[in-house]
Amino acid sequence: MRTALVFVVLVIPCVVRAQGQNERLPSNFDVASVKRNSSTPSGRMTFQASAGGRLTAENMPLRLLIQRAYDVRPFQISDGPSWIDTERYDIVATADAVVPEKHVVGPMLRALLEDRFRLKLHRETRELPVLNLTQKSSGKLMTSKTVDCADAGPTVSPAGSSTLPCHEVVLSISPTGARLRGEQASTGQLAITLANILGRPVIDRTAFGEQFDLDVEVSLDGLDGIMDVLGIRSAAAPASDNMIPSVLTALPEQLGLKLTAGKGPVEVLVIEHVRRPSEN
């Protein structure tokens, strides 16, 4: 029997103070601590960044840190030793200046990984298996009738949260399944969320250009990205006790969308060199 581990990564949003055009943003943290985590139970991962120039990561594998720093999906990271997935690290890094969060998570985190892990990589395009998101039938997707919704917020929320930001697809995970919700969302945003939970590129090939609302519950089967080419278990597998449908079943029935396997060009990051950091 296979046991699936569910990780919820929370990014804490905060207010970013405007910076003058002539103010140069720092390229590195002033103080940074990187330590191996061998005590936190596997499955607990947190990641926070603030506009004050502070980054805190707890129990994070290097692959996920690379994913955040370079704004890519897990399937876009190629090569590298096995320990970048199995070993976890705690990072506390601060800058003396007030820095926008996107700069902390992007250029400054990249510089930290390149310095402390001696990370070296390059980008290239490869022909890889992908999933195509298409419309199965007309009439299922309806233009959103929501007149007001919250500003953009976290795209991953604890199960039971009622907050729904505009123009986002929110993923909530519980022990029994996953829930995809959104107000004034697009098929492109849905494709990005599906790529994250299936661990495979999802290409939006629908012709639906309107915004729509969605609330779809799916089982956890296949959401770990290590299944067959479709990213989910065989249709012959026994149904779960709570009868929550798989994502392949829920999408056509509730949204009139389907996922089909194919191949396409995908930009990937190829790890050329990396090493374990010296702790301090």
Whether residues 254 and 156 share a domain: the answer is yes
Q: Which of 241, 240, 200, 199 is nearest to 221 (CA)?
A: 240
DSSP string, 136-160: SSTTSS-B------BPS--SEEETT
- In the chain, the number of structural domains is 2
* Domain identity same for 119 and 39: yes
CA 170/CA 256 separation, integer angstroms = 19
Tokens encoding 248: 């392949």
Rounded CA separation 10/7 (Å): 10
More confident residue, 265 or 224: 265
- Provide the β-strand partners of residue 217: 179
Q: For 147-192, how does the pLDDT look when each residue is reduced to its tens digit (9 = 90+)?
A: 666 554 444 444 444 556 688 888 887 777 788 998 889 999 999 8
Closest CA to 65 of 112, 135, 123, 1: 112
Q: Helix 109-116 vs helix 62-70: angle between axes, to the nearest 10 degrees? A: 140
Note the pLDDT tens digit of each residue in 32-64: 999 999 887 766 667 888 888 999 999 999 999
Sign of CA dihedral 147, 148, 154, 156: negative
pLDDT, position 233: 41
pTM (2 d.p.):
0.68
Residue 277 within any structural domain of the chain: no
**What pLDDT is attached to residue 162?**
52
**103 and 132 assigned to the same domain:** no
pLDDT of residue 22: 38
pLDDT for 38 equals 86
4 DSSP β-pair partners: none
Confidence of residue 229 (pLDDT cuts 50, 70, 90): very low
Question: Where does a domain end: 123, 146, 170?
Answer: 123
Residue range of the domain that includes 257: 127-233+244-266
Please write the tens of the pLDDT for every residue from 230-250: 223 433 334 444 578 888 889
Q: Which strand ranges, in their side-by-side order, compose the sheet holding 31-37?
A: 31-37, 88-94, 54-61, 46-50
